[in-house]
Amino acid sequence: NAGVMQNPRHLVRRRGQEARLRCSPMKGHSHVYWYRQLPEEGLKFMVYLQKENIIDESGMPKERFSAEFPKEGPSILRIQQVVRGDSAAYFCASSREEGRNSPLHFGNGTRLTVT
């Protein structure tokens, strides 16, 4: 039973390029969450999505960042015109339902480096 799959594991982009991070939730999970982990900091919530809907994007920067979770295919976190400050580990998590007894299952993350 595959867990949450994220790719790529490592991504290097030059300033100004676009970064696309993919996340396939666990089988049977329809809720996806994106978190960002900066060095020496904890995980910061970015966005919560269900299929074809953004439920909570209160942690997303107002510009350059977007997320989607289409009916078919993985969830995508897209960062346009990357800057050095975007360098971080980005983690995707999924859950089976939004209920309180459903823990989040995390992927191994995508480590973005902006040069």
| 105 contributes a contact to another protein by CB under 8 A | yes
In order of 29, 32, 63, 76, 112, the CA distances from 88 in angstroms are: 25, 19, 17, 16, 5
How far is residue 45's CA from residue 25's CA, in Å, rounded to a whole number? 17
Instruction: Give how far Cα 86 sits from Cα of 25, 52, 105, Å.
Output: 23, 25, 24
What span, in angstroms and rounded, lies between the C-alpha atoms of 47 and 92? 10
In the set 43, 64, 76, 87, which binds another protein (CB under 8 A)? 43
Q: Considering the rule CB under 8 A, would residue 66 count as an interface residue with another protein? A: no
Q: How far is the CB of 87 from another protein (least distance, A)?
A: 15
**Rounded to whole angstroms, how far apart are CA atoms 57 and 48?**
6
Q: Which stretch binds another protein (CB under 8 A): 13-21, 62-70, 74-82, 87-95?
A: 87-95
Binding mask 4-33 for another protein (x = CB under 8 A): x-x------------------------x-x
Of 17 and 76, which CB lies nearer to another protein in the complex structure?
A: 76
Kindly list the residues in this chain that would bind another protein in the complex (CB under 8 A): 4, 6, 31, 33, 35, 40-45, 48, 55-56, 91, 93, 95, 98-109
